[in-house]
Structures are given as C-alpha cells and as structure tokens.
Structure 1
C-alpha cells in the first residue's frame, strides 16, 4: 500500500465515529431536543425559524466532538508552553471579536443577570460592569474553547495546516459580518438589499465557517504527514 493511501486511511480513521461516540452523541441530541421542547412549550415563548434553534446545537455538538477527539502529539515543555500561549491568545481574540468580552459601561453599569434565551444560546450570563462587559453564550464558549484546543494541537503538530488557523479567525463572522455589511451599506445605501442579506445570513454563515474550521484543524488535510 502506498504512503499516500496509508495517510488517507489514517485521516479517515481519525474522523470516523466510534460506537461509543455515536451512543453519547445520541444521548446528547436527545437531551437537546428535550430541552428545546420544554423551552418552546412555555406560554411566553414565540417560536421563530427552526434554524435559529439548530445553529447553537451544531456549535455545541461539533465543539464537544472535537474536544473529546483531540489527541495532541508529544512535545517538549517549551513547545507546549508556546502552544498554550498561542491557544489562549487565539481564544481571547475570538472572545473579544465575537462579543463575549468587551469594554465596561462605566457609570451605566447594569450588574449581573441571566438572559433566558433558547437552549444553546442561553441561559446566557450577562454582566455589565464599569470596567468589563461579559455576554456569555454557551454555544460560543464551547465553540471557541474547541477552536483554541484545536489550535493548540495544530501548533504542536509540525504537519499542521496553516489554512485552518487562518479560517478560525473568521469563525466570529457573526460579529464581523455586520461590520462588513455596514461598509457595503455606506456605499450602496443604508437600505441596500446586499447589506440586509449580509446581516440576515451572518448566523448561518458563521456556523458553516465554524464547522469547516473545526474539520480543517482536526483533520488537517493539507498537512504533509
């Protein structure tokens, strides 16, 4: 068997789910469906498009899958420290760009509260302090932690793909895309159909890019191993 075929077989084996993974996956999806059902039957809840309930679960499920499947290669202590620093910095950039962390509200500080959002998006912990502002959506926390862990493993792997890390920076497109849409609106007009389309599709686009990024960082198809 050629080296290329062995490499392809090994990479396919890395992404093939084991029976145990399928079992826990089924349990997780069942729990999520139950939580969503309990949320929707509340009298004060007005249902919206189904995709907005599905997107957070995609982030959570893919993120958890990646976290449980990551197997960082052996490396020296110095390389592990360097990889850890890069991963922490990577998470900090995503957290800030994705709106999890922001500058404080000064004298307009509102304190701590919990927003009863749909499962996956919430319950979200929101803190508006004088020096710092936090908006902790569960699906983004899981997703960004998974990306940071994948970056850690990729840095340790000398055959890691640089393209995955680059794409990972755009996993927070749900935050950056409206900025781009605003720039387009400034050129084409505030009521531009292009700007409206960009804003409405940002959540779905960020989810697609997140899944693709996780796949690239985990599988690393462009590596040379």
Structure 2
C-alpha cells in the first residue's frame, strides 16, 4: 500500500522540490515584469499592485501542489467535480470574469497590462469574458482545493449533499471564497478610481485567508 503524503508533511519531505517550484515561479515572474517594463512605457506606480497577482498565483499553485488531488473516478469524485465546477462558475460570475453578453457578433481581443494583470483576454458576444490571468489561476487553484475538500467530506459516514452541508470546514471556505470573489469583481470594475483604491488589498487578504483555511483543513 502506498502512503500518500500531503500538507505540511509533503512540504517537509519535499523541501527541495517545493523551493525549486517557488524559485522557478518567482524567476519567471521577475523576468516577465522586467521585459514588460523594458519594452513598454509602463511605470510602476504601486509596488503592491505589481506583487498582488503573483501572491495569488504562487500561493494558489503551492497550496494545490502540497495536497493530494484525486482524479475523478466513481460517483463520489464525480459529484465533487460537478459541485466544484459550479463553484468555479459562481466565482467567475461574481468576479466579472464571465458576464451576460450583448448579443453582438463574436469578438476577441487582448489588452496589454502588467504581467499577472495581463494580457487580459476579452471575448464579446452571447457571453462576455474578461479573463485576468492571476484571477483565473487563483480561482482555478481555489476550486481545486474545494474539490479536494468535497471529496474528503463525502468519504465519511455522511455522503452526498448532506455530508457536504454538515462539513463546516468545507462550507466555510466556500462562502469565504465567494465573498472574496465578489470583492474582486467589484474592484475590477473600479480599477483606476479612488473609490476602489483598496478593494484589491481586501480581496487579496480574503483570498489568502480562504486558501489558508482550505490548506489547513487538508494538511493531513
């Protein structure tokens, strides 16, 4: 029988691989930012807004890397997959990544922005998509963690929806994740305005807390 190592034990027993992953991510991010600043007329007005996207990406990737994500197989994991996909859909809608379309012809364009924030993929038509790279990566990682929580919640005595509803460690982070998504969407709409100056500070803090809670519940 093969023992699955996850959470803190995984990080403790795989420090070299974990540090290499983090170092690789940071190296790529520094390179991307450097190239962008050298090849455009962009200027850094706020260091924290340059760093926030990479906080989302790095934390999300490392959290998913540190847990055992089971492949969908059987009814239990299939049910968890469906709920996780719906969860991602809620996040995508509340953050503004996905929105109602105008009914116009399909249009696709890229908008340049600081790495992490961009390039932003804009798709118009029956459904509007505004895909900000760090939000997409962050919410995909968050969804993966929720998926693992759902699989574990349905593995006990309580199964199905009843088991999920009675699992506080699963429901709590999901609610926090949706709240974080709502703030993220609001701050996207307010980008560049004074009223939204601190929206991403709070949104990032909530994302960190949500991922931290999920990782903590999955550490063993």
TM-score per shorter chain, which class? Answer: 0.7 to 0.9
* Deviation at residue 54 of structure 1 after TM alignment: 0.4
Contact 2:76 2:151 in 1 (8 A): yes
| 1:175 aligned residue | 185
Deviation at 1:59, TM superposition (A): 0.8
Matching of residues 1-225 of structure 1 within 5 Å: 12-13=8-9, 16=12, 18-72=15-69, 77-107=74-104, 111-129=107-125, 131-158=126-153, 161=169, 162-172=171-181, 173-176=183-186, 199-220=196-217
Instruction: Check conservation: 1:63, 1:142, Cα contact below 8 A.
Output: yes
Q: Which residue of 1 aligns with 2:164?
A: none
Normalised to the residue count of structure 2, the TM-score between the two structures is 0.79
CA displacement, residues 183-217 of structure 1 (integer Å, 9 cap, x when unaligned): xxxxxxxxxxxx956x2111111111111111111
How many residue pairs match? The answer is 197
How much has 1:31 moved relative to structure 2? Answer: 1.3
Contact 2:72-2:78 at 8 Å conserved across structures: no
1:4 is aligned to none
Cα displacement (A) at 1:171:
2.2
Distance 1:123 1:67 in 2: 24
Once the two structures are superposed, residues 60-110 of structure 1 have per-residue CA deviations (whole angstroms, 9 ceiling, x without a partner) of: 111111222231469971111110011000000000111111111234x57
Normalising by structure 1, we get a TM-score of 0.77
Structure 2 distance, partners of 1:15, 1:176, is 35
Residue 46 of structure 1 and its aligned partner are, at CA, apart by: 2.9
Q: Which runs of 5+ in 2 are unaligned?
A: 1-5, 157-166
Q: Which runs of 5+ in 1 are unaligned?
A: 1-9, 182-194
Larger Rg over CA atoms: 1
Structure 1 residue 11: Cα displacement? 5.9
Q: Distance in 2 between matches of 1:196 and 1:43?
A: 25
| Rounded Cα–Cα distance in structure 2 between residues aligned with 1:28 and 1:165 | 27
Tell me if the contact between 1:73 and 1:157 (Cα under 8 Å) persists in the aligned partners: no
Query: Cα gap change, 1:37/1:73 in structure 2, threshold over 3 Å: closer, same or farther?
Result: closer
Q: Please say if residues 59 and 211 of structure 1, whose CA atoms lie closer than 8 Å, have aligned partners that are also in contact.
A: yes
Q: Distance in 2 between matches of 1:114 and 1:11?
A: 37
